A and B are shown apart, each in its own frame.
Chain A
Amino acid sequence: MSLLVVRDVFKSFGGNVALKGVSFSLGEGEILGIVGPNGSGKTTLLNVLSGTVRQDKGSVFFGGKRVDRLSPHVRARMGIGRTFQITRLFSNLTVLENVLVPLHYGGPGSDGKRAEEILGMVGLLHMKDVKAGSLSLAQRKRLELARALSLNPRLLLLDEVFAGLNPVSVREILDLLRRIHSETGVAMILVEHVLKALFQITRRVIVLSEGRVIYEGEPEGMANSEEVIKAYLGERYEAFRGKGP
């Protein structure tokens, strides 16, 4: 049975249709990449899945239960954890307190030892008493991961977790994600622009363009998809390519 089933989801903001009938499913422990040009609806899709935005039409099933009418906090308690494109930490709370909140309200309970274990896993234990607002971008991303992990999640939604990081940090986060996956078996959906990193962790990608799924399959197949090329490079390029030698 699939862990997550998304069926024919539509979402518009005023006249701008962000999602136009998106459907896909995800297995237990599977890692899925979602790519697409800016404004293609990737973040909206994550927002719909985590519940911070409600879809206009369609349904979302998680663990066999329909969740699309549930509040974000209920979904979090069911095991849907997420990070944000622009990190949303509790800046005036310490690193440890940032983890204690989801542990207590969304996870198994505010256990200081468990909080330290999680911080150790993401490499932030030595900074547990530092205010979250003073962390570097890479550390902020790690802390967001730690908070999401505190929920004991079955599914992690990661919104551009590699964005803005230098190559060393990208490699470190990549290693961290691999370790989290092998230790917890959590399923992951990564919305990502850094394709080189993404393709090192997933064998299945979905390409969104103007709110529609235009490609689903292995990363290698993307380069041969006319629709994907058109979405990234435009119709004129496609026409130019057609006329080439």
Chain B
Amino acid sequence: MGRHDLVVLAGLLALSILPPFLTDYLERVITSALLLASLALAQNILLGYTGYPAFGSVAFFGVGGYVTAVLMKDLSLPFPLALLCGTLFSGLLALLIAPPVMRLKSHYFAITTLALQLALGELVANLEVTGGAQGINLPIYRGPGGYLIFYYLFWTLTLVAFLINAYVERSTFGYALKAIREDEVAAETLGVNTLLFKTASFTLMALITGCSGGIYAYWITYIDPTSMFDPVLSVKMFVALLMGGVGTVGGPVAGAFVLEVVSETLWGQFPRVHGLILGLLIVLIVLIIPKGIWRRR
């Protein structure tokens, strides 16, 4: 890890002792930022290190959320077990579809994942078990810690995703992914089983994204296809990643927090035109610092 990444790690660790000093509003903003950071870190493994942009990775967010919700509602499974199942199911789905999907490259791959997101959204909207377009209501969490539990769940997930990214950055596993990103044909001719590593990268991304979806479902207690397979969430996640720096360990976290804070501030100050100002800011940031705040070393 570089110096910048250690700063982000220190910041993340500091967040664990911050809640007693936070208002409910700030707690919610940071929880949202952590959610976004976890998604951006997951995407970073696939896009940043392996070079494959999954525009529709939010598909796994929806799958994780829905599996968690259905298991809690229909089978009355406790949340931890339902979340574990939702996470594993997302990973399993990725593992199954990776062999054909990961043979596609660049924009073909990106659009295929987007199609997966839209198709799964439609499927969920038409299934009885998922409550169709009506969605699913979940019981409100009334255990110890109250809603702070979701802050810590997203914090833990973000920390784990951060450490996975740090591992990828320095390990031989990461070398294989980076070799694929740099030149897949060359990597193959140098002994890298590219399909295996691309599948591993895709599955890791899906596991983290699915877990995030599961926590989110219980946090907001009501889910429907529109909110769980939301293309806007994909866009926000990509913006956070681009702002922070693709292919860096700390970048996705920094990008997520900057985007969330700027977005919330603009929302408060300019409720009517905040979307317009945010859009302009994003264009400016990408033009001025195209490699992100955490410039790739």
Which residues of A are in contact with B by a Cβ distance under 8 Å? 50-52, 71-73, 75-77, 81-82, 84, 88-93, 97, 100-102, 104-107, 110, 147-148, 150-151
Which residues of B are in contact with A by a Cβ distance under 8 Å? 172, 175-176, 178-179, 181-183, 185-194, 296
Determine the residue in chain A with the shortest Cβ distance to B173.
A104
Question: In the assembled complex, which residues on chain B have CB atoms less than 8 Å from the CB atom of A150?
Answer: 190
Question: In the assembled complex, which residues on chain A have CB atoms less than 8 Å from the CB atom of B176?
Answer: 101, 105
Contact A92 B192 (CB under 8 A): no
Contact A88 B188 (CB under 8 A): no
Question: In the assembled complex, which residues on chain A have CB atoms less than 8 Å from the CB atom of B296?
Answer: 92
In the complex the two chains form, what is the Cα distance from A102 to B183 in whole Å?
13
Given A93-B178, A110-B172, do A151 and B183 touch, yes or no (CB 8 Å)?
A: no
Closest beta carbon of chain B to A138's beta carbon, Å: 19
Given A92-B296, A104-B172, do A72 and B189 touch, yes or no (CB 8 Å)?
A: yes
Contact B190 A76 (CB under 8 A): yes
Determine the residue in chain B with the shortest Cβ distance to A75.
B189
The 5 closest A-B pairs by CB, nearest first: A106-B191, A90-B182, A102-B190, A105-B191, A88-B186
In the complex the two chains form, what is the Cα distance from A89 to B182 in whole Å?
8
Residue in B175, B181, B183, B194 whose beta carbon sits within 8 Å of that of A73 in the complex? B194
In the complex the two chains form, what is the Cα distance from A84 to B190 in whole Å?
12
Given A92-B178, A101-B176, do A76 and B183 touch, yes or no (CB 8 Å)?
A: no
In the complex the two chains form, what is the Cα distance from A93 to B190 in whole Å?
15
Contact A101 B189 (CB under 8 A): no
Residue in A84, A92, A97 whose beta carbon sits within 8 Å of that of B186 in the complex? A84
Contact A71 B193 (CB under 8 A): yes
Residue in A72, A82, A88, A105 whose beta carbon sits within 8 Å of that of B183 in the complex? A88
Q: Which of B176, B181, B188, B193 has the most CB of A within 10 A?
A: B188
In the complex the two chains form, what is the Cα distance from A106 to B176 in whole Å?
11
Determine the residue in chain B with the shortest Cβ distance to A109.
B172
In the complex the two chains form, what is the Cα distance from A76 to B193 in whole Å?
10
Closest beta carbon of chain B to A171's beta carbon, Å: 27
Residue in B185, B192, B193 whose beta carbon sits within 8 Å of that of A101 in the complex? B192
28 A-B contacts (beta carbon < 8 Å): A50-B189, A71-B188, A73-B190, A73-B191, A73-B193, A81-B189, A82-B189, A88-B183, A88-B185, A90-B179, A90-B186, A90-B187, A91-B182, A92-B178, A93-B179, A97-B178, A100-B172, A102-B191, A104-B172, A105-B172, A105-B176, A106-B191, A110-B175, A147-B186, A147-B190, A148-B190, A150-B190, A151-B190
Contact B188 A92 (CB under 8 A): no
Closest beta carbon of chain B to A45's beta carbon, Å: 15
Residue in B172, B183, B194 whose beta carbon sits within 8 Å of that of A90 in the complex? B183
Q: Which of A51, A84, A102 has the most CB of B within 10 A?
A: A102
Contact B186 A89 (CB under 8 A): yes
Question: In the assembled complex, which residues on chain A have CB atoms less than 8 Å from the CB atom of B194?
Answer: 73
Closest beta carbon of chain B to A85's beta carbon, Å: 12
Question: In the assembled complex, which residues on chain B have CB atoms less than 8 Å from the CB atom of A76?
Answer: 188-191
Contact A151 B191 (CB under 8 A): yes
Residue in A51, A92, A105 whose beta carbon sits within 8 Å of that of B190 in the complex? A105
Question: In the assembled complex, which residues on chain A have CB atoms less than 8 Å from the CB atom of B191?
Answer: 73, 76-77, 101-102, 105-107, 151
Question: In the assembled complex, which residues on chain B have CB atoms less than 8 Å from the CB atom of A50?
Answer: 189
In the complex the two chains form, what is the Cα distance from A104 to B187 in whole Å?
12
